[in-house]
């Protein structure tokens, strides 16, 4: 795997991601947590609470949503290490964000919570043995997917939302077939 950074846009670009193993996903999650933290800290508290439109989340709420996603996926990944198949409820992301009032949480604490939770998720992902990649996971009423799909989709999800918060500062380009490749 090669990672390059573009000094003019502070762009993080994956040049090569051969195989897309979960170890590489873990490495990328760690890099994202380490690189995005300072960029997020550069956003003021007052800018972090601005909602770009009606029904849209503020930067605080997006990062809060990513904390929720980390919490849910942490459970999934750990349980996949110890159970032959997984059945999880879906979760209402709007309700989770609203009920936890991320909009009123201190921005620096929220950033650190997101950063450290993702470092933990990256650590757990590194522990997933290849034999568990195909552990079937049911989430809500959706069709089951293999664990490796959830791991890759988590990275895609994080990068998608970080690009909303840091559009000019951080871009992680994943191959088009990243989620579905083996």
The domain defined by 2-49+57-165 carries CATH number 1.20.120.450: yes
Supply the pTM of this predicted model.
0.84
Residue-range domain boundaries for the chain? 2-49+57-165
The single-letter DSSP state of residue 70 is H
Contact partners, residue 97, CB within 8 Å, separation at least 6: 57, 61, 64, 65, 68
Q: Tell me what the pLDDT averaged over the chain comes to.
A: 85
The tens digit of pLDDT for each residue in 26-51 reads 999 998 899 899 999 999 999 999 99
């Amino acid at each position: 795997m090669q990672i390059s950074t573009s000094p003019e846009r502070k762009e993080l670009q994956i040049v090569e991601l051969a195989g897309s193993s979960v170890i590489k996903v873990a490495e990328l999650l760690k890099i994202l947590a380490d690189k995005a933290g300072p960029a997020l800290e550069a956003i003021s508290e007052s800018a972090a609470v601005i909602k770009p439109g009606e029904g849209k989340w503020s930067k605080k709420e997006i990062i809060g949503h990513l904390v929720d996603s980390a919490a849910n996926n942490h459970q999934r990944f750990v349980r996949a290490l110890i159970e032959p198949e997984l059945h999880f409820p879906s979760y209402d992301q709007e309700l989770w964000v609203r009920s936890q009032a991320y909009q009123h949480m201190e921005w620096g604490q929220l950033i650190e919570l997101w950063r450290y939770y993702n470092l933990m998720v990256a650590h757990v992902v590194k522990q997933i043995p290849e034999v568990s990649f195909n552990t079937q996971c049911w989430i809500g009423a959706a069709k089951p997917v293999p664990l490796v799909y959830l791991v890759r989709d988590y990275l895609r999800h994080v990068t998608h939302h970080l690009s909303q918060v840091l559009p000019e500062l951080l871009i992680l380009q994943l191959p088009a077939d990243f989620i579905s490749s083996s």
